[in-house]
Amino acid sequence: MADSLSPSPDLPVAVIGAGPVGLAAAAHLSERGLPFVVLEAGDQAAASVRAWGHVQLFSPWEFNTDPAARRLLTAAGWSEPEASGLPTGEELIKQYLGPLSEVPALAPHVRYGAKVTAITRQGIDRMRSAGRERTPFLLRLETGEEVLARAVIDASGTFTQPNVLGANGLPAHGEHDARPWVASAMPDVLGSERARYAGQHTVVVGAGHSAATTLLALAELAKGEPGTRITWAIRASDPAGSFGGGSDDELPARGALGSGIKLLVDSGRIALAPNFRTSAIRPLGADPASGGVELVSREADGNETVIVADRIVAATGYRPDFGIAAELRLELDPIMEAVRPLARLIDPNHHSCGTVTPHGYAELAHPEPGYFAVGMKSYGRAPTFLMLTGYEQVRSIAAALAGDMESARSVELRLPETGVCSVVSGGAALATRLGLTPERHEQLLHATAKHLGTSPTAADAVLAAAAELGVDETAALQLAAFAAEQFDVPSAPNCG
């Protein structure tokens, strides 16, 4: 297998992207003693993560670090973060990805400002079959430089390729001209971009975790900024699918994210626009300072639903860009845009993040021997990726490239899924995510117990306890939603 994957053992394995999965691939290749080079388009590691550095992950540290990377870091004197902690993107970089990119085993092999624009085989195109497996890969960089490689691990991700707003997969009419009014998912509305959203009416389009994160941040902003309004536009008739597993989610912070949005919708703090399929965007001025924008949903009968807003957040997901691999022989699923064997394992219509079957080099292989798309890019348009999945992908691929097929085939991974969580650990994890110390959380539990006897629901008891202790209202909303789910309270309290 190693011989068929590699034209020459002296050539490096080219890893595209120095994000979490790309650096993990480098760590595994280093441990295997295989030569490698990491080609990163940005000027430092984890460029895409930096773009959402203000966002807190709903997966704890134990699901965000790679075993080989941890071994390299530990040897360099690294102190591992608390396994149950929930890092922000900035903390992920500062405490893990940044130090990892600087360990002696990796640093000399990571090239920054090295954007890959095309991948082919040296001297032959996509049509040539004879000797193809033994011919080195050629990666052309934006500078014109060309790099030869024995194999390619494409961990370039999808963050720079967001989906359009148009519900049919095409840009909505006027979407290009409306770019000044539109932001990509997860803007820093409570930090650097606060002035852009304060006192404005923002429409968030999308139904995933990115949309939920932005909606919660806007709700927090609205508390202190009069006139701030929020509309949530979704294609579905019922937002229940966006609320996630609630208290049954093995990642409590992920479950509570949806539960918190449910309470905000039920209380009227977020206006819901269901059955909204964006077909057109109409600016009402020359720029955002001189007028707002209309977001239009046009039905088959010609009727239109129009939302007038000041800002639009496009939380519509991402798609892979395989343009750089146009001269390679790829076999992509026509629906998912993932390699065919993997597509059936990750279809979001049937799987969550944690119900994906463990997979490795065999499922990720294309008809082009030695090319592997990994990480978010491997999932195509599916939004169900967890970093831990990518770490196992590259471990298996590195083993295969080293000729250790027993290890490459032994793919084992236990992911958090929608299952049963304990009330204590789930609530504690959520409290940590919301910035409450263990002591403060314990005080809240005691105060909640006091209010249970006089409150109509467990959620009301949490809200009353939070008000008594001065706990942030947005945090209380999510904790209340989590409590309501845990105790099977059928209806949400009035939180308006």
47 and 74 both lie in a single domain: yes
Q: Tell me, yes or no, whether 261 lies in a domain.
A: no
* One-character DSSP codes across 53-77: TTSBPSS-GGGTS-HHHHHHHHHTT
30 and 153 both lie in a single domain: yes
365 and 231 both lie in a single domain: no
C-alpha span between 142 and 135 (Å, rounded): 22
C-alpha span between 126 and 64 (Å, rounded): 37
Say how many residues make up the chain. Answer: 496
Q: What's the order of all strands across the beta sheet hosting 116-121?
A: 116-121, 137-141, 146-149
Q: Tell me, yes or no, whether 169 lies in a domain.
A: no
284 and 322 both lie in a single domain: no
pLDDT in tens, 274-302: 999 999 999 999 999 999 999 999 988 88
7 and 84 both lie in a single domain: yes
310 and 361 both lie in a single domain: no
Kindly state the percentage of the chain with pLDDT values over 90.
58
325 and 310 both lie in a single domain: no
State how many domains the chain has: 3
294 and 376 both lie in a single domain: no
pLDDT in tens, 176-231: 999 999 998 899 999 999 999 999 999 999 987 788 888 888 988 998 999 999 99
C-alpha span between 345 and 368 (Å, rounded): 21
Domain end: 261, 294, 314, which one?
A: 314
C-alpha span between 373 and 156 (Å, rounded): 8
- The pTM of this model reads 0.80
324 and 443 both lie in a single domain: no
Tokens 């071994």: give the residue: 71
Q: Is the dihedral of CA 460, 461, 462, 466 positive or negative?
A: positive
98 and 151 both lie in a single domain: yes
pLDDT in tens, 237-268: 877 655 554 444 444 444 444 556 777 887 88
Contact in structure between 179 and 45 (CB atoms under 8 Å): no
C-alpha span between 345 and 342 (Å, rounded): 5
Domain end: 287, 314, 341, which one?
A: 314
Residue 407 is predicted with a pLDDT of: 94
Q: Tell me, yes or no, whether 168 lies in a domain.
A: no
| Alpha helix ranges (H) inside 36-120 | 47-51, 67-75, 89-92, 98-102
365 and 475 both lie in a single domain: no
Tokens 């591992």: give the residue: 80
Contact in structure between 69 and 27 (CB atoms under 8 Å): yes
* CATH code (residue 205): 3.50.50.60
310 and 325 both lie in a single domain: no
Q: Tell me, yes or no, whether 465 lies in a domain.
A: yes
Q: How far is CA 369 from CA 5, 131, 144, 419, 475, in A?
A: 6, 12, 25, 38, 50
C-alpha span between 446 and 30 (Å, rounded): 51
Q: Tell me, yes or no, whether 76 lies in a domain.
A: yes
Range of the domain at 202: 179-237+274-314
C-alpha span between 192 and 188 (Å, rounded): 6
Lowest pLDDT segment from 16-25, 184-193, 264-273 = 264-273
pLDDT in tens, 104-150: 999 999 999 999 999 999 999 999 999 899 999 999 999 999 999 99
Q: Tell me, yes or no, whether 174 lies in a domain.
A: no
The SS3 assignment for 404 reads coil
Q: Tell me, yes or no, whether 468 lies in a domain.
A: yes
Would you tell me how many other CB atoms lie within 10 Å of the CB of residue 482?
Answer: 30
Would you tell me how many other CB atoms lie within 10 Å of the CB of residue 117?
Answer: 13
C-alpha span between 38 and 492 (Å, rounded): 50
Residue 423 is predicted with a pLDDT of: 31
Q: Tell me, yes or no, whether 418 lies in a domain.
A: no
Q: Which residues pair with 110 in a beta bridge?
A: 38
Residue 252 φ/ψ, nearest 5 degrees:
-55, -40
Residue 350 is predicted with a pLDDT of: 62
Domain end: 409, 442, 466, which one?
A: 409
C-alpha span between 476 and 431 (Å, rounded): 9
C-alpha span between 480 and 106 (Å, rounded): 45
Helix (H) or strand (E) holding 38: strand 36-40
